[in-house]
C-alpha cells in the first residue's frame, strides 16, 4: 500500500550528545504551544494531514474533526528552529514538539510568545546520566520447548476458533503495533504471508528516527506473531489476515520518559495512516531517572503522557489493546501506563487452566476503575521467536496481542459498531462480567459471547429503526425500515449462539426474508448502517 506523506516532522540524522558541561549539553524537551492560531490547516480539509482511511474511520463512527486533529502551526516550528533548537517530532493532539537543544537555547525558546512551556519541566531523556537498563517490564519471562499445535489453547480460550470458522480472520482490518522492535520479522517463514501479500503497510522507528524496524529488539516480533503468524499445524495468529503497521517507540536498553513521548508520536502516526486498532505490549511506571518515575496515584488515566495519548487515540475511533504489565510479583504490583487509560482494553494474564498468574499486574486504576479490563492466556503463550521457531513465553505482552487479533476479527464481523461499543461488548463478554475483580477484571472474553443475545439485547431495548412482521412466523418475515431512504443499510441474522447465518446489503425500505430453511427456534435480526443499528428477536415456529 502506498502511504500518504503526512505533516510529521522527521529529522534525518541521528542525535549526538556531547560529553561537555551542563550549559552546553544538548538534551531533549517536550515543548507545548499555547494555541493553533493562524494555522494553514483546516478541519474542512483533513486530507492535508490525515489519510483518507483515517478520515473514513472518523466518519463511520460519527466522530467530528476538531482543532486537536490539526498539526502544530508550522510557523511556530520555524521560529523554534531559528532559536537554534532541533525539532524532532510534533504532536497534533498535545500541540507540542519534541526538541533537542542546550539549556541556553531552551531559555530563548521558552520566551517565544506562542510557547506555553514544557510538558515535563526537565529533559525527558537525561543523556548525561543514561545507564544500561536492567530489564524491560514487558519482555519475555522465558521460553521453553513446545509441541505441535501450540496455539490451540490460547485461540480456543477466547473463541477465536469459532471466529475463524465463521470466516473472520482480520481481513480489511489494520492494526498498529507499538513495540520495542521487530528483529528479523521480515525473514521469518511464519510471517512471510504478511510481506508477500503487502499487508505490512508501513514501518517507523521513533527511537532512531528511521524507517527500518527489523534490526533492533525482538519483542515486537514475538508480539506480532500472536496476531499475524500463520504456520499451518503449529501456530496461527488470531488475526492472521489483517494488515499491520509496525512502529518502534520503545528503547529496550533504557527506561526514560521520552519513551512515553515516542508512544504519543507513534499513536498519532498510526491514527494518520488509518489504523483500526493499536496493540501495545509496553508500559511505564519507574524510570532510570528516579526523579521522573510515576507514583501509583498517577495511574488515573489522566496524568501521564502515555495515558493521555491512548485516550486521544480512543477519542478518534481507535480500539487500543494494552498489556496490563508483569509487575504482579514486584513491589509496584499495579498496572502501568498507558494501561490505566479509561477507554482502552487493558489485558492481564491467565494460564491454560484459566487461572490468574501471579506476575500479571493488578488493578484497580488509581481512581478506582476496573483494571485490567480482561484477561487472556499469558502463561506459556505460543509465539514465533526471531529465528523463526515456534516456542512459548510468559507475559501480558502476549495476552494483549492474542486478544487484539480477536477484537479485530470481531469488529470485522460487526462493521457498524463504534470503537466504544466494541470495547463495551468485549467487557460484557467477560467470564465474570457481573463480578469483576482486581486480577482478571471482567474475566476471560469470548467471541461467541460477545455476539450472544445476552450481550446484544442490552443495546437496543427500544428499537425505532425498523419493524418486523409477522413475528412469530412460520416461513418468512417482512422488514420495514423506518427511514426515508436506504443509507448503506445491511441485514444480518444470527442464531441463539451468536453465529451469523446471513449477512447482506439492503436495497429497499421494505423487503422479505425467508426463514423456511431454518429450524424452529429463536433468532436475532440486526439492521444497521455505519451510523446506527438495532436488534430484534425473531421467533420461528412450526
Q: Name the DSSP letter for residue 387.
A: T
* Phi, then psi, of 161 in degrees rounded to 5: -65, -40
Please state, in angstroms and rounded to a whole number, the distance separating the CA atoms of residues 95 and 93.
Answer: 6
Please, how many CA atoms are within 13 Å of residue 238, restricted to the half-sphere of its CB? Answer: 35
Please state, in angstroms and rounded to a whole number, the distance separating the CA atoms of residues 426 and 57.
Answer: 20
User: Picking from 10-24, 66-80, 415-429, which range would have the lowest pLDDT averaged per residue?
Assistant: 10-24
Q: Name the DSSP letter for residue 128.
A: G
pLDDT surpasses 50 at 133: no
Please state, in angstroms and rounded to a whole number, the distance separating the CA atoms of residues 149 and 347.
Answer: 24
pLDDT surpasses 50 at 492: yes
DSSP 155-223: HHHTTHHHHHHTT-S-TT-EEEEEES--TTGGG-GGGHHHHHTT-EEEEEETTTTBS--SSS-SHHHHH
pLDDT tens column, 9-38: 233 222 233 333 455 689 999 999 999 999
Work out the percent of the chain whose per-residue pLDDT is above 70.
Answer: 89
Which architecture characterizes domain 466-540 according to CATH? Answer: Sandwich (2.60)
Helices (H), 242-295: 258-273
The catalytic position among 69, 125, 179, 216 is 179
Burial of 92 (0-12, 13-18, 19+ CB in 10 A): buried
Q: Reduced to 3 states, what is the DSSP secondary structure of residue 537?
A: strand
pTM over 0.85: no
Angle, in degrees to the nearest 10, between helices 305-315 and 258-273: 10
pLDDT surpasses 60 at 131: no
Q: Which residues face 515 on adjacent strands? A: none
**Fold match, 143-450 / 466-540:** no
The catalytic position among 140, 219, 280, 365 is 219
User: How many beta carbons lie within 10 A of that of residue 542, not counting itself?
Assistant: 5
pLDDT tens column, 305-359: 999 999 999 999 999 999 999 999 999 999 999 999 999 999 999 999 999 999 9
pLDDT tens column, 282-316: 999 999 999 999 999 999 999 999 999 999 999 99
Strand order in the sheet with 490-495: 500-505, 490-495, 521-528, 533-540
Q: Reduced to 3 states, what is the DSSP secondary structure of residue 446?
A: coil
pLDDT tens column, 372-392: 999 999 999 999 999 999 999
Asked whether 406 and 163 are in contact (CB, 8 A), the reply is yes
SS3 assignment for 52-106: HHHHHHHHHCCCCCCHHHCCCCHHHHHHHHHCCCEEEEEECCCCEEEEEECHHHH
Please state, in angstroms and rounded to a whole number, the distance separating the CA atoms of residues 280 and 272.
Answer: 17
| Residue tagged 427511514 (cell numbers) | 483
Radius of gyration, alpha carbons of the chain: 24
The catalytic position among 397, 399, 400, 492 is 397
Cell of 58: 472518523
| Residue tagged 496493540 (cell numbers) | 279
Q: What angle do CA 310, 314, 316 make, to 5 degrees?
A: 120
Domain map of the chain by residue range?
A: 27-129, 143-450, 466-540
Answer yes or no: 179 catalytic: yes
Q: Which helix (H) or strand (E) holds 376?
A: strand 374-377
Q: Hey, what CATH topology would domain 143-450 get?
A: Rossmann fold (3.40.50)
Amino acid at each position: 500500500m502506498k502511504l500518504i506523506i503526512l505533516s510529521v516532522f522527521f529529522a534525518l540524522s541521528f542525535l549526538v550528545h556531547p560529553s561537555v558541561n551542563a550549559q552546553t549539553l544538548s538534551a531533549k524537551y517536550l515543548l507545548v504551544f499555547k494555541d493553533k492560531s493562524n494555522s494553514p490547516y483546516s478541519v474542512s480539509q483533513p486530507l492535508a494531514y490525515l489519510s483518507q482511511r483515517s478520515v473514513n474511520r472518523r466518519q463511520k463512527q460519527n466522530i467530528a474533526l476538531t482543532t486537536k486533529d490539526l498539526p502544530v502551526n508550522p510557523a511556530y516550528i520555524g521560529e523554534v528552529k531559528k532559536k537554534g533548537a532541533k525539532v524532532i517530532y510534533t504532536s497534533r493532539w498535545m500541540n507540542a514538539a519534541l526538541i533537542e537543544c542546550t539549556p541556553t537555547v531552551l531559555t530563548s525558546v521558552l520566551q517565544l510568545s506562542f510557547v506555553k512551556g514544557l510538558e515535563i519541566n526537565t529533559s525527558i531523556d537525561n543523556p548525561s546520566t543514561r545507564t544500561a537498563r536492567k530489564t524491560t517490564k514487558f519482555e519475555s519471562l522465558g521460553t521453553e520447548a513446545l509441541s505441535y499445535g501450540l496455539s490451540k489453547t490460547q485461540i480456543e480460550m477466547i473463541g477465536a476458533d469459532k471466529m475463524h470458522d465463521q470466516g473472520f480472520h482480520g481481513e480489511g482490518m489494520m492494526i498498529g503495533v507499538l513495540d520495542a522492535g521487530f528483529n528479523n520479522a521480515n525473514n521469518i517463514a511464519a510471517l512471510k504471508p504478511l510481506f508477500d501479500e503487502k499487508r505490512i503497510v508501513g514501518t517507523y522507528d521513533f527511537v532512531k528516527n528511521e524507517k527500518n524496524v527489523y534490526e533492533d529488539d525482538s519483542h515486537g516480533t514475538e508480539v506480532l506473531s500472536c496476531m499475524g503468524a500463520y504456520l499451518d499445524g503449529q501456530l496461527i495468529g488470531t488475526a492472521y489476515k489483517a494488515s499491520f503497521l509496525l512502529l518502534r517507540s520503545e528503547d529496550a536498553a533504557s527506561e526514560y520518559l521520552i519513551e512515553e513521548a515516542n508512544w504519543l508520536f507513534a499513536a498519532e502516526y498510526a491514527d494518520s495512516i488509518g489504523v483500526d486498532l493499536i496493540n501495545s505490549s509496553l508500559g511505564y511506571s519507574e524510570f532510570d531517572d528516579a526523579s521522573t518515575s510515576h507514583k501509583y496515584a498517577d495511574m488515573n488515566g489522566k496524568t501521564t503522557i502515555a495515558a493521555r495519548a491512548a485516550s486521544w487515540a480512543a477519542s478518534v475511533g481507535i480500539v487500543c489493546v494494552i498489556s496490563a504489565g508483569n509487575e504482579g510479583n514486584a513491589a509496584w504490583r499495579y498496572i502501568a501506563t498507558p494501561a490505566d487509560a479509561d477507554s482502552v482494553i487493558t489485558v492481564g494474564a491467565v494460564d491454560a487452566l484459566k487461572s490468574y498468574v501471579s506476575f500479571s499486574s493488578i488493578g484497580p486504576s488509581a481512581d478506582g476503575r476496573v483494571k485490567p479490563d480482561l484477561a487472556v492466556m499469558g502463561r506459556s503463550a505460543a509465539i514465533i521467536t526471531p529465528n523463526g521457531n515456534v516456542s512459548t513465553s510468559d507475559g501480558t505482552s502476549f495476552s494483549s496481542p492474542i486478544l487484539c487479533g480477536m477484537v479485530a476479527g470481531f469488529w470485522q464481523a460487526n462493521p457498524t459498531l463504534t470503537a466504544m461499543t466494541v470495547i463495551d461488548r468485549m467487557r460484557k463478554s467477560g467470564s465474570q462480567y457481573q463480578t469483576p475483580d482486581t486480577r482478571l477484571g471482567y474475566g476471560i472474553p469470548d467471541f461467541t459471547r460477545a455476539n450472544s443475545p445476552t450481550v446484544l439485547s442490552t443495546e437496543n431495548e427500544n428499537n425505532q429503526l425498523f419493524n418486523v412482521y409477522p413475528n412469530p412466523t412460520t416461513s418468512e418475515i417482512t422488514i420495514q425500515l423506518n427511514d426515508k431512504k436506504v443509507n448503506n443499510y445491511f441485514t444480518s441474522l444470527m442464531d441463539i449462539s451468536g453465529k451469523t447465518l446471513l449477512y447482506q446489503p439492503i436495497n429497499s425500505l421494505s423487503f422479505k426474508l425467508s426463514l423456511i430453511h431454518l429450524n424452529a427456534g429463536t433468532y436475532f435480526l440486526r439492521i444497521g448502517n455505519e451510523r446506527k443499528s438495532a436488534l430484534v428477536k425473531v421467533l420461528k415456529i412450526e
